[in-house]
Amino acid sequence: MSKGIIALIALTSAVVWYFVSREAMESSKDINWQKLMLLLLAGSVTTLIINILLFRNLSIF
């Protein structure tokens, strides 16, 4: 997979985690829990994709 696609996924992941942190800093009354859970899921999936792609590009063996 090209480095440009990995960079794009990494940038998307960073943006998602930024919005997760902003949503989590609100008071507990104001938190939109569905939005927070969706952002957490999206952040976790993009982080997992990045890890898989980076480990596949390692040339250990």
- pLDDT for 61: 57
Mean of the pLDDT values across residues 2-24? 92
Structure confidence by residue, pLDDT tens digits, 31-54? 889 999 999 999 999 999 999 988
Mean of the pLDDT values across residues 6-11? 92
Q: Specify the number of domains making up the chain.
A: 1
CA distance 1 to 35: 31
- pLDDT for 59: 72
pLDDT above 90 (res 60): no
For residue 9, what are the domain limits? 3-57
What pTM does this model have?
A: 0.82
